[in-house]
Structure 1
Amino acid sequence: MHNAKTAIFYFSGTGNTELIAKQFADALRSSGQEVHLFRMEDVLKDTHSVKYESYNLIGIGHPVLGFGASGFVERFVEQLPDCNGTPAFVFKTASSPHYMNNGASNTVLRSLREKGFTPFHNSILAMPCNFYIKYDDRLNKQLYLVAQRKVKLFAEEIVNEIPRNLRIHPVLERVLRTVYYCEESQGGKYFAKGLRTTASCTRCMKCVRSCPTSNITNSPDGIIFSQNCLLCMRCVYSCPQKAIQATRLKASVVDPYTGGPKLHSLMKDSENDGRFITPKSKGYYKHFIKYLED
């Protein structure tokens, strides 16, 4: 698949998946491919038009939200035009490389096959957690360093058409899919009902402009949060004034969050050695060892 023209479509809540999408683009370009990056919300909102027929390889990238890809990503894939065997690869970012996240892209993969695409490469990259658990900054840096290495490996596999699969027991997948749909349909609404802006809000409108589902609007009475929320946390973490606060599921907000764009600062921090998990790590972090060493 050398010299392919590739389109990578991605959704990123707090920036982790966007960083990985750009890493994939750079790695594929270094192999001689022409690569175009598209944010899914730009395509769905008709901000960018795409000539799908001009690409002979597509990539789909998304974060794992509650063991799934989110209905937003699924809707994007459903609007793709039918094709006749165009190869596709899927990558996802998650706070953990745990087996339970392996099936997060399966609904997307099934939709791609129904559209006539041929997905052959499915991968997962562990990145900083942005929900409930605050990772040590040494771990955040360690995960990003490893993700960069793995993306180069995965890109080489994609160029050489080497398949990669992630397996999960079908019964467990069905259970987790139910959890995921409940979290998105009910958890997102519950969380959004509790979002408030503080007095430090400057009405810069960044949250209004950047919300992928157009869930946030400006009104004479202030910023209004509706219930079409993905729980992607973009508005909370990207607010320049930190003026958006959660009054429900308050513990879910990681403070400070040093993933996404802030990883660039961690990479430049010479005092952060990026060595948090070791072969001797135990407890929750033990399951990262094999992922980091592969």
Structure 2
Amino acid sequence: MHNAKTAIFYFSGTGNTEIIAKQFAERLRSKGQDVDLFRVEDIFKGTRSVEYEAYDLIGIGHPVLGFGASGFVERFAEGLPDCNGTPVFVFKTASSPHYINNGASNTVLRSLRGKGYNPFHNSILAMPCNFYIKYDDRLNKQLYQAAQRKVELFAEEIENRTLRNLPIHPVLERVLRTVYYCEEHQGGKYFAKGLRTTDACTLCLKCVRNCPTSNISSGVEGIVFSQNCLLCMRCVYSCPQKAIQATRLKASVVDPYTGGPKLHKLMKDSANDGRFVTPKSKGYYKHFIKYLEE
């Protein structure tokens, strides 16, 4: 397929999904497709408009947040105009390729089918963890290298309209959906109530500008955090002065976080051989073996 016009819509909390979205765009362009990239938050905020009917292929990317796609991305899918069979590929990034993350896009997929779209390719890519678990930087590099290989494979499948599904037991999906709902709607509010700025804050307002849900504002007393929080962690990790601290769920903050934009620096580190998980790995990291070998 050549000269097709493709739109890739994505939400990225701390940068992992954005990196993958850009790599999908690069690979599809190399195959002759005209690709436009859209951040979902820009569409919600009205800073970009979209003529959906102009596209022959649509991609939707999101991080896995608490076993789900986030209400943010789900609302985007619900708001898409009806169509007549436009093919869609969906990709997600997660700290683990484990089976329990397979259903994270299912609500989005159901919305797409209900509106007449044809979601044919559903994939997951493991990337550095930004929540609770600090991965060894050798693993972070290893996962990113694997993701690059898989994007190349997936782009070929997408070009050829090859079907790819991620099965999950419906009972498990319902249980995980409940966990996801509680984390986003209750955990996010709890976390946001505990966000504070330190004296290192320079009021650069980067957090205000970059919060996807406009949850952060500037007031008389400085930076104000409301409760419309996705737990995406963007504000914490992207603050130039590291001046945003979590006083609730402190352990959820990975320090230092070397994923997202910092992966480019990690890839240039010749002292990091990117060999953390091996065929002999045990415990938690054992489940990465099959994923990395595929």
Q: TM-score range by the shorter chain?
A: over 0.9
Number of the residue aligned with 1:231: 231
Q: Determine whether 1:182 maps to 2:154.
A: no
Which stretches in structure 2 are left out of the alignment for 5+ residues?
none
* Separation in structure 2 between the aligned mates of residue 113 and residue 230 of structure 1, nearest angstrom: 25
Q: Determine whether 1:119 maps to 2:119.
A: yes
Number of the residue aligned with 1:202: 202
Number of the residue aligned with 2:91: 91
Which stretches in structure 1 are left out of the alignment for 5+ residues?
none
The CA deviation at 1:115 is 1.1
Equivalent position amino acid for 2:181 in 1: Y
Equivalent position amino acid for 1:12 in 2: S
The CA deviation at 1:2 is 3.2
| Matching of residues 246-285 of structure 1 within 5 Å | 246-285=246-285
RMSD (Å), alpha carbons:
0.5
* Separation in structure 2 between the aligned mates of residue 154 and residue 110 of structure 1, nearest angstrom: 21
> What TM-score comes out, normalization by structure 1 length?
0.99
Number of the residue aligned with 1:50: 50
The CA deviation at 1:201 is 0.2
Partner secondary structure for residue 188 of structure 1: helix
Number of the residue aligned with 1:134: 134
* Separation in structure 2 between the aligned mates of residue 3 and residue 125 of structure 1, nearest angstrom: 27
* Separation in structure 2 between the aligned mates of residue 212 and residue 181 of structure 1, nearest angstrom: 19
The CA deviation at 1:78 is 1.1
* Separation in structure 2 between the aligned mates of residue 92 and residue 227 of structure 1, nearest angstrom: 25
Q: Determine whether 1:71 maps to 2:71.
A: yes
Number of the residue aligned with 2:25: 25
- Decide whether the 8 Å contact of 1:193 with 1:226 is kept in 2: yes
Equivalent position amino acid for 2:261 in 1: P
The CA deviation at 1:3 is 2.5
* Separation in structure 1 between the aligned mates of residue 194 and residue 244 of structure 2, nearest angstrom: 10
Number of the residue aligned with 2:108: 108
Number of the residue aligned with 1:288: 288
Equivalent position amino acid for 1:213 in 2: T
Equivalent position amino acid for 1:121 in 2: H
- Decide whether the 8 Å contact of 1:2 with 1:160 is kept in 2: no
* Separation in structure 2 between the aligned mates of residue 3 and residue 94 of structure 1, nearest angstrom: 31
Identity over aligned pairs, percent: 85
Number of the residue aligned with 2:37: 37
The CA deviation at 1:70 is 0.3
Partner secondary structure for residue 81 of structure 1: coil
Equivalent position amino acid for 1:238 in 2: S
